[in-house]
Amino acid sequence: MTDPVKPTLLVVDGHSLAFRAFYALPVDSFSTRDGQHTNAIHGFLSMLLLLLQNERPTHLAVAFDKSRQSFRTREYAEYKGNRSETPPEFKGQVPLLQEALHAMGVRTLEKDDFEADDILATLATRGTAEGYRVLLVSGDRDTIQLVDDDVTLLYPNTQGVSQLKRYDTAAVIERYGIRPEQYPDVAALVGETSDNLPGIPKVGEKTAVKWLGLYGDLDGILAHADEIKGVVGQNLRDGRENAVRNRKLNRLVRDVDLDVELAEFEAKPIDLDAVRPIFERLEFRTLMDRLTKLALGDAGQAASGGAAPSAPVEREPAPAAPTPQPLRDDELAAWLETATAAEPAGLGLSIDVIAGEVAGVGIATATETVRLEWQSAADSPALAAWLASDAPKIMTDAKLQLEALARSGLAFDGLVVDTLLAGWLMRPNLQEKSLADLVDRYLGETLPQSDPALLVPEEGSDAGAPEYAWYSLRVAPEVLRVLPERTRQLLADVEMPLVPVLAAMELRGVAVDHDRLAALSAELGDRAAGLAVLAYAEIGREVNLGSPKQLQEVLFDQLGMPKTRATKTGYTTDASALADLQESNPHPFLGYLLEHRDATKLRQIVDSLDKAIAADGRIHTTYGQIGAATGRMSSNDPNLQNIPVRAEDGRRIREAFRNGEGYVELMTADYSQIEMRIMAHLSGDPGLIEAFNAGEDLHRFVGARVFSVDPADVTPLMRTKVKAMSYGLAYGLSAFGLSKQLRIDRAEATQLMKEYFARFGAVRDYLRGVVEQARIDGYTETIFGRRRPFPDLNSPNRVLRENAERQALNSPIQGSAADIIKLAMIGVERSIAEAGLRSRMLLQVHDELVFEVADGEADALETIVRDRMSSAADLLVPLDVQVGRGASWDDAAH
């Protein structure tokens, strides 16, 4: 095994390992508050620490590629020529990684005109000569040739970088059936796609190894090329230049002039004080802990050698959750008294939910947790009283738990912090999706969880309600600490009060008429079947009309239509492309196909809604409060925010949404043009503000300005164009996009935009300003202070950057609209309760609310809704609210 006398030299291929780490770890989960991606750095350092711990090298170096150019690219220009652009999220991490390594006292090496692997080869050669045991770490197979009795290669497996496969001579022989020094011959014959080095066609590892066995080495094989029969033999004779070239390129250089002595790589004790600042900047809490442990271990060894350890800061190990005490309800009041005194900001609370009902309750202070077994509300008067009181409670992902409480007949109040919502406001790109994520990020600890693969969780290993309560309690102050003041306010004023409102809406659900849906489904099914028959007749065969692949065959091969926009897997067959084709190459098949698509899509929606009707005859969607990065909510299971409304057929689905028993109709209330109004407010554009205050049709008003005509003379076409332009603005629409949407030429679109901005210049200035400010701040902000970070705004990658720019200019607008309707919902719910109405709010569709109206309450409800919605924010323009009522959702639309 290892020779205790020999010193150990560990050499790492920095680029290849960092790159592996980059792809192994989700980029979204590793970034700092200011948006710097750190997944590659984190993965690399994590692996390095593991190596230092397990291998205990005496000498250490990390080699990097200096650039993409090397003597190999000069020799063969196509070398690695197929490599796509390095992701910018990766690029920026390399200098930071090097900085971190230097802080850790690790030497890094790079050399003009050579690749990192050549440095590995050189150090391995010198190390062997100078009596070292050498460990190489690289993700490049070419380094296999370096393995010998003193040189071992650690190669990352496909899963990532946490597991390294150890290749010594025996392992290479076992894996490849050849000796390490023969590997380049195999690679030369087989070729290396990732390096853009084609090999001999039809020759894989098996064949190459067989030939090596027969003829010794590549030269031998080529010398006997004439004796090899069949297609492969001919391929070999045809491609011998390739093989020779490959062999030349994959030979690593063992004598790069490095101008260093191996002794300089001696591993020094880690200076934690030097490392701490950069690790803090990278927000590597767990890694810092691991490094600290490792360094203290080193110090301990040094101490045994005589020197006293320099007094490093002793880090406490991650505390374990206190063992939950079982508590009876009659003991609860007393416990709560001392607990509340100990935690005035709130107690941690978590509800075990099984099948939607309360199964257990955990409550936590910083030092104690209790578990209350729960039978029924009647058996737990003390618990019920505390839950119903306004005593402050801290939870994680409370909505589900609140619903379970309600179903079990328990009133609830006093939710002050939901850590999941707080974490989302801090990083709205859905990076922390669970308590476990929050515990990891904000405490640097791991939430105990049993293997989810186990059907029966291990006894005691799993975190239950008391543990969840305890971790929630500890996470809360850490998240709040880093939350900017306005964002904390947003949490307290908007997101937290919204939780019980959403819980109530989800519990209520909306009544849906199964019979109508069933009839509609049957009708659509028949229609689709008929259209399919017609479509098949046109092309003389049956294909799967739902298969883009088969459609491409029909359209482009069989019917010879011109190719449409390219997708990753071929050419698009989407509705707009088919419409274009219909214009240029009219064919009845296209019409049938489009209609068939419509019918099947609609039927699919109908069927999934029908399946979602619960036993109470109602559909209960789930709102995702942390659903969208802009601040909007999402709806799922089923999604009730994308029920068709534009097409006549689609609207028939809305006819199935009706008031339930005990109610007389539905009412809808929506903000008209809220995003344009927000744009008017944020930009302060006098023209746009006047447009809204004039109370005239917005698009007519704008059209009159843009086309310099009287409002009365604005034609429908002019109105359409201006409307598309106005709506497109908030999305970062380009002249190209506008021309495409309006089916007008580029020049006309450009002209339209020019005229528009000439009249509404402040809008353009505002949109530009948003992006510029975001580039500086790294985030955008809504009217209410909701932030969204944009790390890609300064990316050198144009696609990424321009995407980020459009997102950035849209976010304050979409986000402010979301803030406003959330505030309105909270106000409406409160006012309805205060007025004692039975009518209730059921659905939210971004700028629309749907209510179920009780008999005789329509007017009172409308007054409340109009008032709360229009006064939710104080803008420079009025917030106009449209209200409608009717027997169905469709009828209630206006």
Partner DNA sequence: TTAGAAACGTA
Partner DNA sequence: CGTACGTTTCTAAA
Contact status: 743 vs DNA (CB under 7 A): no
Q: Do residues 869 and 851 lie in contact, with contact meaning Cβ atoms separated by under 8 Å?
A: no
Return the sign of the alpha-carbon dihedral for residues 100, 103, 107, 108.
positive
Least distance CB 190 / DNA (angstroms) = 18
User: Which residue of 207, 389, 634, 794 would you call a contact of DNA, by CB under 7 A?
Assistant: 634
Least distance CB 853 / DNA (angstroms) = 20
User: Which residue of 108, 286, 741, 797 would you call a contact of DNA, by CB under 7 A?
Assistant: 741
Contacts of 572 (CB under 8 A, 6+ apart): 548, 564, 565, 566
Contact status: 636 vs DNA (CB under 7 A): yes
The helices-and-strands tally (H runs, E runs) of the chain is 37, 27
Least distance CB 53 / DNA (angstroms) = 30
User: Which residue of 448, 525, 644, 660 would you call a contact of DNA, by CB under 7 A?
Assistant: 644
Contact status: 711 vs DNA (CB under 7 A): no
Q: Give me the residue label for tokens 């402010």.
A: 816
For 12, which DSSP code?
A: E
Contact range with DNA by CB under 7 A, out of 231-239, 313-321, 334-342, 805-813: 805-813
Closer CB to DNA, residue 369 or residue 573?
573
Contact status: 606 vs DNA (CB under 7 A): no
Q: Which two tokens stand for residue 620?
A: 């209960």
> Cis omega before residue 452 (within 30°)?
no
Q: How far apart are CA 180 and CA 169, in angstroms?
A: 6
Least distance CB 727 / DNA (angstroms) = 5
Return the SS3 of 153. Answer: strand
Closer CB to DNA, residue 191 or residue 428?
428
**SS3 of 260-298:** CCHHHHECCCCCHHHHHHHHHHHCCHHHHHHHHHHHHHH
Distances (CA, A) of 25 to 31, 194, 243, 448, 573: 11, 21, 36, 21, 34
Least distance CB 621 / DNA (angstroms) = 8
x-marked contacts with DNA along 226-265 as a string, rule CB under 7 A: ----------------------------------------
Identify residues 340-379 at the interface with DNA (CB under 7 A).
Answer: none
Least distance CB 147 / DNA (angstroms) = 26
Contact status: 638 vs DNA (CB under 7 A): yes
Closer CB to DNA, residue 250 or residue 814?
814
**Interface size with DNA, residues (CB under 7 A):** 63
Q: Which residues sit opposite 353 in a β-bridge?
A: 358
Contact status: 637 vs DNA (CB under 7 A): yes
Identify residues 414-473 at the interface with DNA (CB under 7 A).
Answer: 430
Least distance CB 546 / DNA (angstroms) = 4
User: Which residue of 630, 795, 816, 888 would you call a contact of DNA, by CB under 7 A?
Assistant: 630
CA angle 323–328–333, rounded 5-degree value: 95
Q: How far apart are CA 661 and CA 511, in angstroms?
A: 9
Pairing relationship of beta strands 191-192 and 197-198 according to DSSP bridges = antiparallel
x-marked contacts with DNA along 375-414 as a string, rule CB under 7 A: ----------------------------------------
Contact status: 780 vs DNA (CB under 7 A): no
Return the sign of the alpha-carbon dihedral for residues 464, 465, 471, 475.
positive
Least distance CB 622 / DNA (angstroms) = 8
Q: How far apart are CA 194 and CA 190, in angstroms?
A: 12
Closer CB to DNA, residue 144 or residue 628?
628
Q: How far apart are CA 106 and CA 101, in angstroms?
A: 5
Least distance CB 836 / DNA (angstroms) = 30
Closer CB to DNA, residue 481 or residue 646?
646
Least distance CB 550 / DNA (angstroms) = 5
Q: Do residues 795 and 88 lie in contact, with contact meaning Cβ atoms separated by under 8 Å?
A: yes
x-marked contacts with DNA along 825-864 as a string, rule CB under 7 A: --------------------xxxx----------------
x-marked contacts with DNA along 554-583 as a string, rule CB under 7 A: -------------xxxx-xxxxx-------
Contact range with DNA by CB under 7 A, out of 85-93, 262-270, 272-280, 541-549: 541-549
Contact status: 888 vs DNA (CB under 7 A): no
Contacts of 373 (CB under 8 A, 6+ apart): 326, 360
User: Which residue of 549, 563, 754, 768 would you call a contact of DNA, by CB under 7 A?
Assistant: 549
Q: How far apart are CA 15 and CA 2, in angstroms?
A: 28
Q: Which two tokens stand for residue 704?
A: 């009159």
Q: How far is CA 88 from the centre of its chain?
A: 17
Q: Rounded to 10 degrees, what is the CA torsion of 510, 515, 516, 522?
A: 130
Return the SS3 of 80. Answer: coil
Contact status: 732 vs DNA (CB under 7 A): yes
Q: Give me the residue label for tokens 């005229």.
A: 755
CA angle 770–771–777, rounded 5-degree value: 85
Contact status: 806 vs DNA (CB under 7 A): yes
Q: Do residues 486 and 785 lie in contact, with contact meaning Cβ atoms separated by under 8 Å?
A: yes
Buried residues in 730-756 as b, exposed as e (16+ CB within 10 A): bebbbbeebbebbebeeeebeebbebb
User: Which residue of 645, 800, 858, 876 would you call a contact of DNA, by CB under 7 A?
Assistant: 645
Q: How far apart are CA 365 and CA 349, in angstroms?
A: 9
Contact status: 642 vs DNA (CB under 7 A): yes
Contacts of 281 (CB under 8 A, 6+ apart): 32
Contact status: 643 vs DNA (CB under 7 A): yes
Q: How far apart are CA 541 and CA 488, in angstroms?
A: 62
Least distance CB 158 / DNA (angstroms) = 9
Least distance CB 739 / DNA (angstroms) = 9
Least distance CB 578 / DNA (angstroms) = 7
Contact status: 601 vs DNA (CB under 7 A): yes
Contact status: 498 vs DNA (CB under 7 A): no
Contact range with DNA by CB under 7 A, out of 146-154, 281-289, 498-506, 540-548: 540-548
Closer CB to DNA, residue 118 or residue 847?
847
Least distance CB 604 / DNA (angstroms) = 5
Q: Which two tokens stand for residue 546?
A: 């739902």
Contact status: 882 vs DNA (CB under 7 A): no
Contact range with DNA by CB under 7 A, out of 105-113, 124-132, 438-446, 802-810: 802-810
Q: How far apart are CA 442 and CA 548, in angstroms?
A: 45
For the beta sheet containing 415-418, the strands, ordered from the edge strand earlier in sequence to the opposite edge, are 325-326, 369-373, 357-364, 347-354, 393-395, 415-418
Contact status: 734 vs DNA (CB under 7 A): yes
User: Which residue of 731, 755, 759, 866 would you call a contact of DNA, by CB under 7 A?
Assistant: 731
User: Which residue of 53, 736, 768, 835 would you call a contact of DNA, by CB under 7 A?
Assistant: 736
User: Which residue of 120, 447, 629, 854 would you call a contact of DNA, by CB under 7 A?
Assistant: 629
DSSP string, 512-543: E-HHHHHHHHHHHHHHHHHHHHHHHHHHTS--
Q: Give me the residue label for tokens 């991650």.
A: 318
Contact status: 604 vs DNA (CB under 7 A): yes
Q: Which two tokens stand for residue 707?
A: 């086309």
Binding site for DNA (CB under 7 A): 430, 544, 546-550, 567-570, 572-576, 597-598, 601, 604-605, 608, 624, 627-630, 632, 634-639, 641-647, 650, 724, 727-728, 731-734, 736-737, 740-741, 803, 806-807, 810-811, 814, 845-848
